[in-house]
Amino acid sequence: MKLSIQALRDRLEQELPGEDAHVRMSPTGRGRSSQLLKNVSHVHESAVSIVLYENNAVYSSLLIQRPTYKGVHSGQVCLPGGKREDFETHLHQTALRECMEETGIDQNKLELLGSLTPVYIPVSNHHVHPYVFHHPSSTPDLIPDPREVVEIIPFELKQLIEEERIKKTDILIRDDHKLKNVPYFDIEGRVVWGATAIILHEFKEVLKDLSRI
């Protein structure tokens, strides 16, 4: 898809689609983040990165696949990111650090374009802040952290716009519990659901706004 980085930067400075854009991709029964946060305490602040880069005149981004482990996000496909450290004064620093640690992208080569609406994840009590970055010098060198990343998954940005990529499926989250009819993005044949899908759907709405300009 065609994309003006300056137009995207300008759009991200305006009012965002917000939680209205989150609803469609929210798993069954999950409320809006702003409402859920009223009833919780000791929330963990986290940040994730949407990294944009141009590859053969086509804009792309990337996801990562987590390894299998004893945790609620085991094996999931998600955006690079993680928990804020005490020494970080702003959450975009968290997003940059985690992206570099997990994908090997030099954080000094990433330009911050703006942020999206935070998402609260009840199962892990994390409040996730999404940031959008541009890597201006073509395709970044990618070196996955073997402890945290099974695979880095590049994808063309146009996949977010293609309506047929939004599907539903059942998700087994524990041996004894399955979520029914969960909405997800089919990106590069992967099931991208939960907070990652919620974040990407808001970004999709931003991209659709740009296409109308």
User: Per-residue b/e over 170-188, b at no fewer than 16 CB within 10 Å?
Assistant: ebeeeeeeebeebbbbebe
109 burial (CB, 10 Å; 0-12 / 13-18 / 19+) is middle
**Whether residue 100 has pLDDT greater than 70:** yes
Tokens linked to 31: 């409320």
CA atoms within 13 A on the CB side of 25: 27
The rounded mean pLDDT for the chain is: 93
Mean pLDDT of all residues in 61-76: 82
Residues 185-199 pLDDT 10s: 999 999 999 999 999
Q: What is the share, in percent, of the chain residues with pLDDT greater than 90? A: 82
What are the tokens at 156? 């063309």
| The pLDDT value given to residue 57 | 84
Give residue-wise pLDDT tens across range 102-117. Answer: 999 999 999 999 999 9
Structure confidence at residue 212 (pLDDT): 77
Mean pLDDT of 53-59: 90
DSSP tag of 160: H
Calculate the alpha carbon distances from 126 to 31, 34, 38, 117 in Å.
15, 13, 14, 14
Per-residue pLDDT reduced to its tens digit, 21-36 = 999 999 876 779 999 9
User: How many other CB atoms are there within 10 angstroms of residue 52's CB atom?
Assistant: 22
Specify the DSSP class assigned to residue 123.
T
Is 121's pLDDT higher than 70? yes
* Total of domains in the chain: 1
Q: Report pLDDT for 54.
A: 93
Quick: pLDDT tens for 163-172: 999 999 998 8
pLDDT of 71 higher than 70: no
What's the pLDDT at 175? 67
Average pLDDT over residues 80-90: 96
| Mean pLDDT, rounded, for 54-66 | 93
Measure the CA–CA gap between 16 and 117, rounded to whole angstroms.
Answer: 7
CATH number for the domain that contains residue 178 = 3.90.79.10
Looking at this protein, which amino acid is placed at residue 162?
Answer: E
Is the distance from CB of 1 to CB of 157 less than 8 angstroms?
A: yes
* Residues spanned by the domain of 162: 5-212
Place of tokens 């939680």: 19
Strands 166-174 and 151-156, bridge-based pairing: unpaired
- 173 has pLDDT over 90: no
Q: In the predicted model, is pLDDT for residue 70 greater than 80? A: no
